[in-house]
Amino acid sequence: MNGSLDDSIILQHILQHTFDEIFVADATGMVLYTSQSTEKVFGIPCEQIVHHNIFDLEKQGMFLPSVIANVLRTNQKDTLIQETKHNRKLIISGYPIYGQPGNWLERSVFQEMLQSLNI
């Protein structure tokens, strides 16, 4: 992708129609985007997550622990078992996204669900 408007539209379409649960947050923990499957996975509308701070959502028990919060605290990729507000256990990975060497991009972290656990 070369950063064109067409690339942006293609990426937006892919993210809207993926079966994967994907979050994107900025360097402060503000959630910028969630895929539509997030509603199914977490049992709450995306609007209750997008434009909210991941640290606040974690404190509210929306998901514990938050892999995005861990990535922001450590600057390292992370995989963990996360429990949702509705007691669903998920294996979640989070990844920092950098711009120029060592600099965070505005959209700095994304997470994806790897597996739902039945325990």
- The CATH number for 82's domain is 3.30.450.20
Of residues 118 and 55, more confidently modeled: 55
What confidence category does residue 65 fall into, taking pLDDT thresholds of 50, 70 and 90? Answer: very high
Q: What is the pLDDT of residue 119?
A: 57
Cβ neighbours around 70 below 10 Å, total: 21
* Tokens 């070369």 belong to residue: 2
User: What would the pLDDT profile of 67-114 be if each residue is shown by its tens digit?
Assistant: 999 999 988 899 999 998 888 888 889 888 877 666 655 545 666 666
| pLDDT averaged over every residue in the chain | 81
What amino acid occupies position 99?
A: G
What confidence category does residue 2 fall into, taking pLDDT thresholds of 50, 70 and 90? Answer: low
Pick the closest to residue 25 from 64, 68, 59 (CA basis): 68
Domain containing residue 64:
5-117
Number of structural domains the chain divides into = 1
CB 89 within 8 A of CB 49: no
Q: Using CA atoms, how far apart are residues 109 and 55, in angstroms rounded to an integer?
A: 13
* pTM beyond 0.75, yes or no: yes
Pick the closest to residue 62 from 8, 23, 14, 105 (CA basis): 23
What confidence category does residue 24 fall into, taking pLDDT thresholds of 50, 70 and 90? Answer: confident
